[in-house]
A and B are shown apart, each in its own frame.
Chain A
Amino acid sequence: MSDSAINKVGATTGNWLDERLGASGVVKGFSRKVFPDHWSFMLGEIALYSFVILLLSGTFLTFFFVPSAAEVVYDGPYTTLAGQHVSEAFDSTMHLSFEVRGGLLMRQIHHWAALIFVVSMIVHMFRIFFTGAFRKPREINWVIGMILAILAVVEGFLGYSLPDDLLSGNGLRIAQGIVLGIPVVGSYVSFFLFGGGFPGEAFIPRFYTLHVLLIPAIMLALITFHLILVVVHKHTQYPGPGKTNSNVVGFPLFPIYTAKAGGFFFIVFGVTALMGALFTINGIWVYGPYDPSPIGAGAQPDFYMGFLDGAVRIMPGFVEFTVWGHTVSPNIFLPTLVLPGLMVTPALLYPWIEAWVTGDKREHHLLDRPRNQPTRTGLGVMAITLYTLLWISGGNDIVATHLHLSINDITHVLRVIVFVFPPLAYLITKRICLGLQRKDREKVLHGRETGRVFRTEEGEVFELHAPLSANDRWLLVGFDSPEPAQALPATDSSGVRRPGGALEKVRQKISKFYFEDRVAPVTPAELAEAHHHGDHEEISASGGGDEKHAISSGH
């Protein structure tokens, strides 16, 4: 076919589709849509692609997995399980792993993709939080993201429970213990969930339906909504020359991002497949079938549940007490249900908390540098520290054996530092941020230190400072720096009493906590003053245009 013939076929097909779908408008709009370019904007993409990989590999697994607790005798090729009584779920997972071509690889890809899914969501959330991308108008998307992360954890736990191996059974037993720990209704909820006593035969088909149907469907809907909102809000961008709150500087979706994102999908799939091929994950053949009597040392949940396990491990037992002959035992309820509630709720509400403190009603499309919001950054690192400590506690037995420590000592130490380290992390992070901001100020006012030290004939010693380019300087001065909320007079200029009152006082206190020790960006006046000041020290011997600072003059 000649070129013109190809064009004609293309045009006819395109026209046929357009007349029926009206797609050209959408394609035109989308293909010119601009996205900014930065590696940290691709973290959410990793999560999205992992989800797609999970759907694909999970579909393969459903072709072979039998969601049934019915007892069968294992007669497959794995000799150390020969003749043992196992559930059909376990049997079919073994069959899938050892007798289906590529089955074990698919299982491992599925499980690694699940871990990468949660890892990338967490890191994506860090990016959003530390750059302030949750601010107006993106608060709802922040909440959707949080719900997606929570659903991912639940979905992961359900999947971990399905093969009915010893490890998952142990995990399930702990989950049932958590359910039983709910005051008053715990035992009823447990009976309802498991359809009777633990473990029963009902949980596998029930968990299966939740795992392959209900939760993925909700997640798919939320992810769709999440992405639609990204398009509606347009993507945020890092501050820089030419980037404002009302534009997006980047490349069009077609062809640049179609190629980049499409390619990145295959990269993520490739990395996941590589991990599935190289590293064993959840070797159920070693764990053996579940039976409520045995337990294996090193029984842990997947990493994302590790912080809950860790909280239980360091929870002292003395909180149990008796009221009118009834034992009240909050020592499981507190660490597994109250604590995550306390950790998730402030995170969910954070966009509103910060907006309330700053009183900022504006839209924000330009991202913050983390150092320019020292208190927020400090709070974020504090939360990460708490999560990490609890996670370490969840692996305290592995830490003990591998670092040759006493597990009791680890537990005692963690009980203390879980309260001490997070505030410490907040303080240190905030100080680092303030220090970096001061360094930025210094750079703007006096230029970059060149390391070239001069001494004049009179004996004066100074270091040569090179001025910043206008672009570099803009990055260091062009940011928002809210001031602490000031106490306003009780009545306004017309003598009308101001609304607020007690709540307003609280807001002022929190605002003070946030912005009291802020380092303000350099103002144009300060800059002019600094340059003027620098002129005093101009000496003819030095290079043209460089600003000098005598060390003796106190800079």
Chain B
Amino acid sequence: MSALAARRRHPLATALIVLLGLLVTGVGYAAVMPSTADASTSTASADDIEQGKKLFLANCSTCHGIDAEGRNQAPSLIGVGAASVDFQVGTGRMPLAMSGPQAQEAPVRLSDEQTAQLSAYVASLGAGPSIPSQDVLDPEAGDASKGAMIFRTNCAMCHNAAGAGGALTRGKFAPNLDDVSYKHIYEAMVTGPQSMPVFPDTTITPDEKTDVIAYLATIRETPNPGGMALGKLGPVSEGLVAWIVGLTLLIGFAVWLGAKSS
């Protein structure tokens, strides 16, 4: 009997097996899963990361912590990736101006260069989604009809079929997508900001994300065929127009017709 076999019932053997199992799973997972972090980490220089760290300490660390591991309400930023920073800071949501149900779009407070440096620093903390390249953001490269189907199935339930936005619980909301840049739409899909779920490349492939962008570009650029869109909100605004515009006009005419006699 070998020494190994003799110790197979040692109390630590189970712990060792579990440890080995975890290691194998972890290494295997890392090997199989595509890493999306290389794009930003590879292009960012050490200097950028250094500058980004300074920016982080000055603007973000109050809530997210000096080590970016998160505090009470602010999440850890390790592994959120450059795309997340680019989205949150690039749309003005971060640094957060005031607490509320959710961070809202606001005037952007960092320059593009500073945002890039901050993104580089956060990306250096752990692998995460990178900032999308220009070729996946080109609406011309996507299939708008396919994008419409993907949008209808995955996005319309919160953002409304026309991307006009909608309400979520407790004052949170899915914003209107009319003025959101394609880069930020793509980043939102891969990072899932606020209440939005993450749509990783395994669920919606980069090509399909380009299709969604192609769909949004088409409905943005197509003039509304039916006249004024009434906020693309559907029957609620239509009902209000019927009461306010239709009824007011018709009663106005009725008063005019009825006034001539008396």
Contact = CB atoms under 8 A, between A and B. Distances in A.
B141 interface: no
Contacts of A277: 227
B180 interface: no
A4 B204 CA distance: 85
Given A306-B239, A398-B167, A80 B148 contact: yes
A316 interface: no
Contacts of A298: 160, 164, 166, 233-234, 236
B239 A297 contact: no
Interface stretch (A25-33, A286-294, A332-340, A507-515): A286-294
A162 to B, nearest CB: 15
Contacts of A39: 251, 254-255, 257-259
Given A279-B241, A303-B238, A81 B258 contact: no
Contacts of B168: 407
Contact of B152 (A281, A294, A396, A407): A294
Contact of B167 (A256, A272, A304, A400): A400
A300 B235 contact: yes
B53 interface: no
Contacts of A396: 167
A174 interface: no
A293 B153 contact: yes
B152 to A, nearest CB: 5
B126 to A, nearest CB: 33
A377 to B, nearest CB: 20
Contacts, number: 209
B145 A82 contact: yes
Q: Chain A, interface size: which category?
A: 35 or more
Name the interface size band of chain B: 35 or more
B226 interface: yes
Q: Is the interface of A mostly helix, strand, loop or mixed?
A: helix
Contact of B242 (A40, A42, A112, A267): A112
B254 A302 contact: no
A112 B246 contact: yes
A27 B258 CA distance: 24
Interface string A269-311: 0011001011111110111100101111111111110100000
Given A104-B226, A407-B168, A296 B247 contact: no
B246 A116 contact: yes
Contacts of B254: 39-40, 42-43, 45-46, 264
A288 B161 contact: yes
A405 interface: yes
B238 A282 contact: yes
Contact of B228 (A41, A80, A278): A278
Given A104-B225, A294-B152, A275 B245 contact: yes
A300 B164 CA distance: 14
B231 to A, nearest CB: 9
B230 interface: yes
B247 A398 contact: no
A46 B160 contact: no
A166 B160 CA distance: 11
B189 interface: no
22 contacts: A37-B258, A39-B251, A39-B254, A42-B254, A80-B144, A80-B145, A104-B225, A108-B226, A112-B246, A119-B243, A267-B257, A279-B238, A280-B227, A281-B238, A286-B232, A296-B152, A296-B160, A296-B161, A297-B157, A297-B165, A300-B236, A302-B235
Interface of B: 101, 144-145, 147-149, 152-153, 156-162, 164-171, 173-174, 215, 218-219, 224-230, 232-243, 245-247, 249-251, 253-255, 257-259, 261-262
Closest 6 CB pairs of A and B: A297-B166, A303-B239, A280-B226, A39-B258, A115-B242, A406-B171
Interface of A: 37-43, 45-46, 79-84, 97-98, 104, 108, 111-112, 115-116, 119-120, 123, 166-167, 250-251, 256, 260, 263-264, 267-268, 271-272, 275, 277-283, 285-288, 291, 293-304, 306, 394-398, 400-401, 404-409
Given A80-B215, A108-B227, A288-B148, 11 more contacts: A37-B261, A42-B254, A46-B254, A116-B250, A123-B251, A250-B261, A283-B229, A286-B219, A297-B165, A298-B164, A302-B235
